[in-house]
């Protein structure tokens, strides 16, 4: 059993909603990181007993900051934490499964509409060229109602997305995941390669595991229709970035909208930043006011449990 929670310090790597921070502050000292760079995290974590994050932590976090005794993931992605090292050192790690599922599902719908209606290109053209040139781009856009969406990894996010697409737009929904018995009624069970070949939108929502690492390599991306779009809100390394960049450059697929990347942060000059058929966001699909309120309170509750020597509700590295 460690010292009383009130004498302990919690590092918040990314800003959390006021509700969660208020709950945490009543029982522990809160330190807010000014950014999510690994150098900053290492420095501030040295004096912290717990860390709440939704950004990738340094692989050497626990050797750089041996005082850390608990980590709460402000989301679902266990790959954000050096999990094996945490387990070896007896540091409990928690996450919040499903906490941002609605927000991410809505982001995926937004992505399909933005891609099919060429919103980014049209907006850019209207600002930089002329009204008429922007309107010309609109002539090549599409309705999504008659299209097929293939969802890879139909968990909480995929299930909500399947229902929105089927009932809201009348789309044909294909689903692929390990547990076919958990597929929602709106999704037709489909083998991965068939799903990729048939879909107008391929939406990746699966977690990163040894089996899913580079699941979308050059061969599988090459199975997509030339008119199809790839949307990734799962984990960056599920898609082999080099293969995707090649396909986008050569227009072998219509385009992609990405919220996650193979090496987490996009550095200046990254090849994706120069592609006009890649729409990019900085890992924010689940970041809405509503989801942050839910998850911030949940993350704070989990942290306080762990710092009190109690097991978290969602203990991802239980031995």
For the record, the structure tokens of 34 come out as: 């000014």
Two structure tokens written together for 82: 């050096």
**Selected catalytic residue, list 118, 176, 283, 292:** 283
Q: CA 158, CA 207: separation in Å to the nearest integer?
A: 12
Q: Is there a catalytic annotation at residue 235?
A: yes
Dist. CA 197–CA 61, nearest whole Å: 41
Residues 144, 113 contacting (CB under 8 angstroms): yes
Which candidate in 74, 235, 292, 294 is catalytic? Answer: 235
Which two structure tokens, joined as six digits, stand for 3?
């010292």
Supply the residues annotated as catalytic: 235, 267, 283
């Amino acid at each position: 059993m460690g010292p009383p929670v009130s004498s302990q310090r919690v590092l918040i790597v990314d800003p959390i909603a006021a509700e969660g921070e208020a709950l945490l502050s009543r029982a522990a000292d809160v330190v807010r990181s000014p950014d999510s760079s690994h150098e900053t995290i290492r420095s501030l974590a040295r004096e912290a007993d717990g860390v709440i994050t939704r950004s990738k932590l340094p692989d050497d976090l626990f050797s750089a900051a041996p005082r850390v005794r608990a980590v709460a993931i402000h989301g679902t992605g266990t790959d954000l934490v050096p999990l094996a090292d945490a387990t070896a050192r007896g540091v409990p790690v928690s996450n919040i499964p499903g906490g941002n599922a609605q927000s991410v599902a809505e982001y995926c719908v937004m992505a399909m509409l933005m891609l099919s209606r060429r919103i980014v290109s049209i907006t850019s053209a209207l600002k930089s060229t002329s009204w008429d040139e922007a309107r010309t781009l609109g002539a090549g856009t599409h309705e999504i109602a008659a299209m097929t969406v293939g969802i890879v990894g139909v968990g909480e996010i995929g299930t909500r997305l399947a229902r929105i697409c089927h009932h809201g737009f009348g789309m044909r929904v294909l689903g692929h995941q390990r547990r076919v018995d958990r597929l929602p009624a709106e999704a037709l069970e489909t083998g991965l390669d068939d799903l990729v070949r048939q879909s107008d939108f391929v939406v990746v929502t699966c977690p990163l595991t040894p089996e899913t690492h580079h699941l979308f390599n050059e061969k599988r991306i090459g199975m997509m229709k030339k008119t199809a779009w790839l949307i990734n809100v799962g984990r960056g390394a599920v898609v082999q970035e080099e293969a995707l960049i090649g396909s986008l450059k050569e227009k072998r697929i219509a385009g992609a909208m990405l919220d996650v990347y193979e090496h987490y942060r996009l550095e200046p000059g990254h090849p994706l930043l120069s592609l006009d058929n890649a729409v990019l966001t900085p890992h924010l699909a689940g970041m809405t006011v509503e989801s942050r309120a839910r998850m911030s309170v949940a993350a704070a509750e989990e942290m306080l449990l762990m710092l009190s020597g109690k097991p978290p509700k969602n203990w991802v590295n239980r031995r």
